[in-house]
Amino acid sequence: MRILIHGGPVITFGNPCNVLEGQAVLIEDGRIARIAPKASIPGPFDRTLDAAGKVVMPGLVNAHMHFYSTLVRGLGKAAPSANFQEVLDNLWWRLDRKLSLDDVEVSAEVVLADAVRKGTTTLVDHHASPFAATGSLDRIAGAVRRSGVRACLCYEVSDRDGQAVTDAGLEENAAFARRCAEEKDPHLRALFGLHAAFTLSDKTLDRAAAMGRDAGVGFHVHVAEAASDVKFNLDHHGRTPVARLAAHGLLGRGSIAAHCVHATPADQEILASTDTFVAHNPQSNLNNAVGIADVLGLARKGVRVGLGTDAMTVNMLEEIRVAMWAQHLRQDNPTCAFMEIAGTLFARNPELATQLWGFPLGTLEEGAAADVILVDYHAPTPLDGTTVLGHLVFGISQATVDTTICAGRILMEGKVLTNGLDEAALAARSRELAVRLWERF
C-alpha cells in the first residue's frame, strides 16, 4: 500500500520538533518511506491524500491509560469520597471486582474507537479485573487489533483480593508477555503490571520482579500517586514507594512509574539514576485531589517525564494543556516549564513508544512507523520551528482530527471511521453491558 500525503505542513515531533514546508510524505509497507517534495516522489500511488488546510503530524502516544474504566461513565452509585483511598474503595475497587471478560473487551473497544477519532494511535494500558483476570489481556488485544491502533498491555497485580487473585494476575502478565514475544505483532507489546507498592507485599514484589525478568519486559506501576501511598510504605516498610520498588529491582529503563506526585527529592534522584520513565497524569491527579507532580523538578534531575491520561480522556492535546496550567500552579509561576511540559508529549512519549516497540514511533521521519494524523488547521501566525510548540498547545489542540493512519492503514478519513468499527452498534452493546454491571456494583 503506497500512500502519498501532500499539501500541508509536516510537524515532525521529536527533539527538536520541526516544521517541514513543501514536503510530501510517502507511506509504503507501514513505514515512512520518504519525506520530500511531491514532484520528486515517483508514482504510482494506491491513495493520495490532500492535506491542504491541515497539518500533518505523527499519531499521538498515551503513556498511561486504563481501558477498563469506560463503563463507569455516568455511574452515580459510588459513595462520596473524602480522599483518594476512599475513591479507590468506593469506586474503582468496587468496579474492577465486578468486571466480566465481556465488559473488559467492550470497554476497551469503545475507548479505542475514540482514540482513533482523537488521533491517538499508541496507548500504554494498565488493566485490572481481579475476578476476570485470566484471558483479559487477550480480550483487550483482540479489541486493539480490530481498532487498528497499537497498545502495550499489562495486568495490574495486587494482593488486595487474596492469594488466588494475585497468582492469576502474575500469570496473566507472564502469559501475555510470552504471547507478544512469540507473535511479534507490531500492534502489541507487553509490560508487567503492578498496582502500587501499598497493595503489594515484599514476597509479591519479588515474584513479579523474577517473572518480569524471565519474560524480558519492564514494569508498569502506580508510584506515589497520593500522600497515603508514601505514608503506608514508610510506616510498614521504612521506605518510600520509589525506594522500595527500586530495592526490589522493579525500576529501570524498561519500566514506567505512573504519577509520582509525591516523589521526594531523593526519589527523584532514584528515578533519574535508574532511568525510569515517569508518566504524568495531570487531569486525574487534579480530579482526585492528590496534588500536582513536580514535572519541572523531575526534568531538572534528568528524569524522563512523559504524558498519560489515566483514563480521563484519550485526547492527548487536551491533556497537555491541563499539564501546562497545572504546572504553572504547582510552581507558582505562570511562565515556567513550557518546554518541559511540551516535551512530555512531543518528545518523551515518542521516545517511550520507540523503546517499547523497538522501531521509531511517534515521529515523522524516514524509516519511522507510518502512524500519521491530519488535523484541520489554518495557522493564523507564522508556523515554523520556533513557533510550532505554541501552535500545538494553543491552537492545534483545539482543532479536529480529520484523518488517522496507523501502520500505513487508514483508520479514519474525512472524520469517518474506516477501520470497520460500528460506533452505534458498539455503543448499544456497551450500554447493555453497563446496565448489567451497574446492577452488580
Per-residue model confidence (pLDDT) at position 77: 83
pLDDT confidence bin for 279, thresholds 50/70/90? very high
For residue 251, the SS3 value is coil
- Residue 145, burial from CB neighbour count under 10 angstroms (0-12, 13-18, 19+): middle
| 207 pLDDT higher than 90 | yes
SS (H, E, C) 344-410: HHHHHHHHHHHHHHCCCCCCCCCCCECCEEEEECCCCCCCCCCCHHHHHHHCHHHCCEEEEEECCEE
For 229-233, what is the mean pLDDT?
98
Q: Where are the alpha helices (DSSP H) in 248-315?
A: 265-274, 282-287, 295-300
Per-residue model confidence (pLDDT) at position 76: 87
For 142-164, what is the mean pLDDT?
98
Q: What is the pTM of this model?
A: 0.98
Per-residue model confidence (pLDDT) at position 241: 98
For residue 30, the SS3 value is coil
In this structure, the number of other CB atoms found within 10 A of the CB of residue 379 comes to 15
- Residue 160, burial from CB neighbour count under 10 angstroms (0-12, 13-18, 19+): middle
Q: Quote the distance between the C-alpha of residue 409 and its chain's center.
A: 20
Q: Which residues pair with 36 in a beta bridge?
A: 24
Q: What is the pLDDT of residues 68-126, one digit of tens each?
A: 999 999 998 889 999 999 999 999 999 999 999 999 999 999 999 999 999 999 999 99
pLDDT confidence bin for 244, thresholds 50/70/90? very high
With contact defined as beta carbons under 8 Å apart, do 437 and 98 qualify? yes
Average pLDDT score, the chain: 98
Q: What is the pLDDT of residues 39-56, one digit of tens each?
A: 999 999 999 999 999 999
For 302-328, what is the mean pLDDT?
98
**Structural domains for the chain:** 2-58+369-417 (2.30.40.10), 60-357 (3.20.20.140)
For 161-172, what is the mean pLDDT?
98
